[in-house]
Amino acid sequence: MLKIIGGFIAGLVFVAALAYNFMGSLMFREIPSPFGVEETVARIQQNIQKAGNGWSLIGLRDPAKAVQHDGGNVLPVLMIEACSTRYSGPILKDDNTRFLSILIPCKISVYKKNDGKTYIGMMNAGLFGKLFGVGEIMSHVAADQARFVQFDPSKPAPAMIKGTPGAGASGGSGSGAAGGC
């Protein structure tokens, strides 16, 4: 009996160690881009604008700029923020899932690594959805995200949209879909 209990505990420890080591790669995706940071961002922005399903661009952030402003030296990082009211609406309306607002807007990070290559990072929306009881909604988000990062290299790169897309003249958020989620 002691061997069975010991084996069970050892198995739990082993599974916990595996989960700890691989959780990051399950929760988040990283894919290489064939383009530089700004061109990758511009292509993703264009794909979001063409996606339909209520998607709109709501921001572009440069976290590396803040670090550089404080005297740090980091490689380029740009974060694209997009939202679909079709998907965020049901999550925000339900008291049981409203805490998931922390995940809204959808963020896609484009960055350069020390190997000189550009990468795209994003959360695994499908897995997050299954974990938090909104699997159906987030499976649609995951499918759309997959389309956001599909590029046709034969087509010329669009211009990158800087700042807050859809912002009014005052720099605040606009109304409707352009104002974000």
User: Higher model confidence: residue 178 or residue 150?
Assistant: 150
| pLDDT surpassing 60 at residue 69 | yes
- 19-28, 118-127, 149-158, 161-170 — which is least confidently predicted? 161-170
When mean pLDDT is compared across 62-66, 142-146, 177-181, the lowest value belongs to: 177-181
Average confidence (pLDDT) over 151-158: 93
In a domain, 10, yes or no: no
- CATH number of the domain residue 63 falls in: 3.30.310.70
Specify if 96 maps to a domain: yes
- Position of tokens 């402003």? 69
Question: The domain containing residue 134 runs over which residues?
Answer: 27-166
Asked if residues 108 and 92 have their Cβ atoms less than 8 Å apart, the reply is no
As a whole number of angstroms, the distance between CA 56 and CA 18 comes to 38
Lowest mean pLDDT among 18-27, 134-143, 145-154, 155-164: 18-27
| Residue 47 counted as domain residue | yes
Judge whether 51 and 73 are in contact, CB under 8 Å.
no
3-state secondary structure of 143: helix
Specify if 172 maps to a domain. no
Q: CB-based burial of residue 130 (10 Å sphere; 0-12 exposed, 13-18 middle, 19+ buried)?
A: middle
Helix (H, G, I), strand (E, B), or coil: what is residue 25?
helix
**pLDDT of res. 3:** 77
Whether pLDDT at 158 is above 70 = yes
More confident residue, 22 or 81: 81
User: What is the predicted pLDDT for the residue at 78?
Assistant: 97
Evaluate whether residue 84 is within a structural domain.
yes
According to DSSP, residue 159 is labeled P
Confirm if 120 and 97 have CB atoms less than 8 A apart: no
| Residue 93: inside a domain | yes
Neighbours of 138 (CB within 10 A): 25
15, part of any domain: no
CA distance linking residue 73 with residue 67, whole number of Å:
7
In the chain, how many domains are there? 1
Residue 176 lies in a domain: no
Q: Residue 122: which H helix or E strand, with range?
A: strand 118-123
pLDDT band, residue 163 (cuts 50/70/90): confident
